[in-house]
Amino acid sequence: MIRWMPVETRSVRDRSGVGRFPTVTLGFGEDTEGKKEQPEEKNAQKENGCRWWLHKVCSCCRPKSKDDDISDTLVTGIDEAEKDDGKNSNKPVTGGTEIHELLLKVQSINLMKNKSAENRIEHHTNLYHGDNFIIRRGQSFQMCLTLSRAFNPNTDKLHLELKTGLLPTVSKGTHVMIPLVDQLQGNRWEAAVAKQDDKHMYLSVSSPPTAVIGRYQLTVETNCANGPASSTQCPATDIYMLFNPWCEDDTVFMDSEDEKQEYVLNDVGRIYYGTENQIGVRTWNFGQFDDGILAACLFVLEKSGTSPSGWGDPVNVVRIVSAMINSPDDQGVLEGNWSGNYSGGTSPTVWSGSVEILKEYHKKGGTPVKYGQCWVFAGIVTTVLRCFGIPCRPVTNFNSAHDTDVSLTTDVYLDENMESIEGLNTDSVWNFHVWNDCWMARPDLPPGNGGWQAVDATPQETSQGTYCCGPAPLAAVRNGQVYLKHDCPFVFAEVNSDKIYWQRNANETFSQIYNEKNTVGHCISTKAVGSDERNDITNLYKYPEGTEEERIAVETACSYGSKASAYSSTTSKDVSVEVTMNGQDPVMGKDAELTITLRNSSSQKRTAVLNGHVAVMYYTGVLKATVRKDSVEVEVLPNEVSVLEWSLEYKDYKDQLIDQTALMLTISGRVKETQQVLATQFSFRLRTPDLIMKTIGKPVVGEKMAVEISFVNPLPQVLKAVVFNVEGLGLLKAKKIKYGDIGSRASVSVTEFFVPTLPGPRKLLASLDCKQLTQVHGVTDVTVEEKSNST
């Protein structure tokens, strides 16, 4: 049957006024010229017509109905007060026909999104700042609709619609129709009536554990005998959907509650750096719940240009995030810089958290922030993934190899005189490298590869044409299964490659002269669950060095590398060389002392000629400058040990130091009697002082207090243009304090006042930056009390 609808006519004035004073029709009915030409005086008796029109177009701007005591409501239709006061004829209307009045219309939508309400608590989203409605997939939530009349299930129809992305499509899961059902079945989009109280209709809505994450726009569609109606879409009713590690059917499900508290809900953590013998640590503010951070994280996904239809798969989301946190090929969040020159930006060692970086990227519409290095990239990845609901942690690998030719070995090329050939030594071993582990099932891989996955946002090598890395299952890395996706060969080489020394022959070919094992992948570290202790997780990445399982893993991996034929089995050697550090770590501004030990396990005397070469280097393993060379001949008696004391004076390195104050001693040589090659490298850093922080005053929300930051210059030279940086979630937004110069060996202190805004245990962070000295920071715990009601 064809149903004729009334034709709406508009005057020329209507059309010319579009964008200024348009006529708005909500429902069915005619907006006649007679109604438009009512005297202005009568319209003004109720309220200004422009204001009334604005309320109808954006219902979130309208005051809440007096007959509805529900908070967080969105008014989307004419409320009862307007219909019953007898004055509706004196103001603009959308059509006064009986049909219009009999439509089933949505007057308000209450998402019950207060942070203390059941939805936010049950979905573990009550820590997010702001008023957005944030929920997790695979779990039901509650909402309430206020209708223009009571809902009659026999004659009325109702369903919800959610849309996300620029081109929402039903088949791709970005345009969702949520039907009204008698009872929820779970694991799918559906809604059921939980309670009905006259015009108030309480719904329980469920989502599948595979739902696309992101921001959905919500509308409510109704239909009855008199026709359909639709609520007005408004940002106040947008729904933010996240991954759900509390849902067993979500691929990011994590069983341990303690681990979820640490890897999803903890907004402060620790990142390790330095060398395996001198492990340093700094506190990092992840701030995933800070106001505006969820919006910034979703903006990162949007800037990637990827389809939202793929945002339901954590493997895909992690890969996108890995690519978008760096900037070389997609204008991502952070620009890397390892040059030592940070003019025009912020030195990587200055950052103490992710919040300032993500907010700046969002505010500037996607312009990369300057500058970052590996620990900054890892800190931001942790923030973004925890914000989305994917369990994540920063991980530091000491002696981390960077394989540039997919050989799965770290190759060192020497000339005829055992000197390094710098143009060929593109592989490097970083003192430390920080990446991330994230937790998820891997249904795309053979069983056993779920759990922790390595992901690295530092732009080192491309993966499928993009600077990203992972997720690589740790189980595959441990077993040398480098043929599994994503990027297992690169991660394997970082933690378990052998270092192979090659020497140039007279005919310009190269021969393998030495294979050094157990040189990379040491003390792989992350923060322990529930404490600030360091947790060594090396065993998750590799079997114990020298075991049969470890050797099988190495041989399996190398068989897929570009130099599979070069891998040689072990041959017995009777002289070994080792470099160690005894006593306290060397301190910046003083001499560094090391010990070189030669062991002769044969029954005959051995004479070794050793060449020593020490260089200042970036923590990435790239050498900046040689500061000293020397050579020595050492005689070692049968079955004896010979010990050499080696020292480096401050005057030798003081003019060459860079960010991480790192140096590398390379020892190479031969045993005269057997021509055995001796080679080893030892990295160490010079320890910088900490900032000492002391709070002044009682920490109470809303009450002024202060922190005193003290520092002693360890160098026998003046520090120029010193800047202190201080920040703390819930305590103090990131702030720079320009101090000026600090004299040689001088002690200074600065005091900064602030007003805490959030209660509970907090951490206040500070760092110092200047050209002569970096990587100086401090942290102090602050427990903030709620403001007393009696006050």
Q: Look-up: residue for tokens 């709620």?
A: 786
Q: What is the dihedral of CA 202, 112, 385, 262, to 10 degrees?
A: -110
305, with CB counted inside 10 A (0-12, 13-18, 19+), is exposed
Q: Active-site residue numbers?
A: 374, 433, 456
- The greatest distance separating any two alpha carbons of the chain, rounded to the nearest whole angstrom, comes to 117
Q: Look-up: residue for tokens 């920040």?
A: 727
d(CA 488, CA 482): 5
Strand order across the 472-473 sheet: 472-473, 451-455, 428-440, 392-402, 522-527, 534-536
6, with CB counted inside 10 A (0-12, 13-18, 19+), is exposed
- Strands 692-696 and 719-728 turn out to be unpaired
Q: From the centroid of its chain, how far is CA 470?
A: 14
Neighbours of 555 (CB within 10 A): 13
DSSP string covering 54-120: HHHHSGGGSPPPTT---SSEEE-S--HHHHHSS-GGGS--S---HHHHHS--EEEEE----TTSHHH
- Cα–Cα distances (Å) from 166 to 306, 359, 767, in that order, read 11, 23, 42
What tokens were used for 664?
A: 């590398």
Tell me: cis bond preceding 55? Omega within 30 of 0 counts. no
Q: Convert 52-61 to b/e letters by CB count within 10 Å (16 or more is b).
A: beeebeebee
What are residue 708's DSSP bridge partners? 694, 751
Q: Which residues contact 576 (CB under 8 A, 6 or more apart)?
A: 598, 599, 601, 678
Strand order across the 200-206 sheet: 73-75, 106-110, 141-147, 200-206, 190-197, 180-181
Under 8 Å between Cβ of 291 and 275: no
Compute the chain's Rg from CA coordinates. Answer: 33
Q: From the centroid of its chain, how far is CA 757?
A: 24
